[in-house]
Structure 1
């Protein structure tokens, strides 16, 4: 009996995790695996790109977990620089183009994995495609940006957008001795936080020498006589730039899926069941940055582009393709980042998201320290907690502070996943010693205040 054929579109975290797991479960005699990857690299850490650009990571290859050659040695037919152009679900085949030769061909599949990832949002603005304007999502993107930085004599950078990529790239360019301006249309940087917490990030960035312009919509990328970028314009001002980095966010890359008639959610991502199988298609799976996932707190579908999720999706998909069983129940929206020595973390819902979900809630915000106040080097952190009115169910936590602040959000992530109340959080048996925490950990202090707020709100 001939081997089944698995075709995977996309060779990064989700795609190669799926291919590798499927290969562990079935040998080449039972399952042929073909992977199409349009770029030059596979299985790399996109999250590490800002630290490579900034010089914290010395070499690009340090971000690569497994090379194409290593995948091929494991019996995977990995076709680099090959772009999938069309999915024919009725004929169970994929049309792809070799980007070097231009040759196109159809490849039949028994099972298909769509792992096409996400792309940086590029608003339709005059000058957006000018040389010197960069989005940063892939290693190819990172290399292109570094090539520009190395070839550019000026030292002025404008970051458009102040989300995770925006603030991380601001730090990277600050490390490279650039004069950095961040322009965002939001009230404060880090729209993944509530504005009062984003304000803390704003103040810290100002103290680092980063100029942060809020409430400003970019209207044009200005170019010089040579066609290269020379600045960024808003309605009210112009900001000179020798390089522009887009940090507005990402969107799922799902044009292939849309044209094939596969189901998409309100955020443009593919919709799957718990086993990561595309809804309504028994022979097609999808994972990584091109899918939407269930938010366990709000009960809604969300698009969250994170390598942690993508790798889990790939493991689950590979198990399903190989005849096993695994599921991905959903997420609570945990994310951490930093800009220089400031750590930023959130999990669960912001105030706006809680309102949109129809939840009534109370908030509690406290200031504490990352270690006992008397211990040398103790630094401030701010913790904000949301709890459901009446029930006291934990809904979300945001933390901004110095060393030791960000990873405390994992306490809240576990509590959210378990559906705990803030009263239950108060009783958690957390580790304590003066170098690591005050007697009452900041998360527990915030939970105590949230308990009081829930009681004060009554029914």
Structure 2
């Protein structure tokens, strides 16, 4: 039964998901068309809308003093702009043939069918939560939502005097949460399946991250997996176990990564890619469906370097997807060309950045390449505060096309990756990168910026290989 209210002459845009992609789409569609022309109904199953999941580790660590700083726009603010945002309401089914969705009130269980003329799917991602004994014990936490952050902070407050934490996984979230827990005064152990942290980097660059983490007092355990969570007499977590060791823990944080939340789309028969994400065209329209769009962490995107679809769940992409979807759903035209895979992070004062392909990515798509690694400094060596920086660069053999860059260093290192991101998007060769007219003054850079030093060395290696 449809209890959403009588339909009128207006078109109805239904949005599933009230965070970055979904509410960006709703807001942009509202800018394009007013309430008299377009009705917008959005569903969000959680307690918060338009929040920054990326900021949760910094809230937990105390850099962000309060939760509400992470909320960009409240439900009341969205409603004041003419968007019917229904919180604590979960969409449980998409009926594509009939053009409707089944919505369920999370608290009361009441259900209704809500018809749509246009649909946006922005269901986000789900954290990987291994199926193992004890995984649901009190004291074991994911960090996907603001509710997760509050629950973790509560556990940290109530933990016993030992104050021991284990982080499972050493990707972006794992590394950032390890730093947050150190700041909270915990003894931190990170257990990671890979030999080195940050699998988005090549292992030689990941080693630099591990060494920095160990320098902070973090115990790094690589090349193994947690097989179970051990609990005490009170039922709370007391340790995690691998095949050959146990690591005491008053709190366990899961930082294993995320997967696209597409069970709803799969059940509706919508097209999914090799990584489980929805497949869209450049206008973010779900392939084969004129009036359905999808964006954010539930979609796969085109990698401009490899030419293949990949899964890159980042808030930057989600907000861009939303803008594009909202423009198109509102009657305009916009496209999303793809990504080069740029990401930055940090662990205390160590900055970590990457863009483009890793060595194994290039091998997987059949590219032949050269690699160089250089050591430089963030400023002119004689200027106070100059700090070391390592830059690794990949270039295609013979053509010299830039394929990827990874940077690990102190202050001023991470955002240099943006130079490489622009070069990758433009399809520049490393020879062309050497000629970029970058800003220089001793407080900001050596006379040859570290990225240019790496490009010069890569260009020379490409020339030598072509002889």
Among 133, 144, 147, which residue is 1:126 paired with? 133
Shift of 1:143: 1.4
Quote the residue 1:267 is aligned against: 275
Matches within 5 A, 1:364-379: 364-379=372-387
Quote the residue 1:25 is aligned against: 32
Greater shift in the superposed pair: 371-380 or 406-415? 371-380
Deviations 1:147-194 (CA, angstroms, capped at 9, x unpaired): 221222241110000000000000001000000000101020000000
Aligned mates of 2:397, 2:339 — CA distance in 1: 22
1:42 aligns with 2:34: no
1:94 aligns with 2:105: no
- Dislocated runs of 4+, deviation >6 Å: none
Quote the residue 1:284 is aligned against: 292
Quote the residue 2:218 is aligned against: 210
Q: Which runs of 5+ in 2 are unaligned?
A: 1-7
Among 193, 196, 206, which residue is 1:188 paired with? 196
Among 362, 380, 404, which residue is 1:396 paired with? 404
Matches within 5 A, 1:327-406: 327-406=335-414
1:294 aligns with 2:308: no
Among 59, 74, 88, which residue is 1:67 paired with? 74
Shift of 1:313: 0.3
1:115 aligns with 2:122: yes
Aligned mates of 1:252, 1:165 — CA distance in 2: 16
Deviations 1:228-272 (CA, angstroms, capped at 9, x unpaired): 111111111110101111111110111100100110011110000
Greater shift in the superposed pair: 190-199 or 132-141? 132-141
Quote the residue 2:231 is aligned against: 223
Q: Secondary structure at the match of 1:452?
A: helix
Quote the residue 1:4 is aligned against: 11
Deviations 1:317-360 (CA, angstroms, capped at 9, x unpaired): 00011000000000000000000000000000000000001100
Quote the residue 1:174 is aligned against: 182
Deviations 1:379-419 (CA, angstroms, capped at 9, x unpaired): 10100000000000000000000000000000000000000
Shift of 1:92: 0.8
Among 90, 103, 106, which residue is 1:83 paired with? 90
Aligned mates of 1:254, 1:406 — CA distance in 2: 32
Aligned mates of 1:48, 1:450 — CA distance in 2: 36
Aligned mates of 1:160, 1:232 — CA distance in 2: 9
TM-score (norm 2): 0.97
Q: Which runs of 5+ in 1 are unaligned?
A: none
Shift of 1:138: 1.4
Quote the residue 2:3 is aligned against: none
Aligned mates of 1:263, 1:136 — CA distance in 2: 29
CA RMSD, Structure 1 to Structure 2 (Å): 0.8
Paired residues in the alignment total: 459
TM-score (norm 1): 0.99
Quote the residue 1:54 is aligned against: 61
Shift of 1:123: 1.2
Shift of 1:218: 1.1
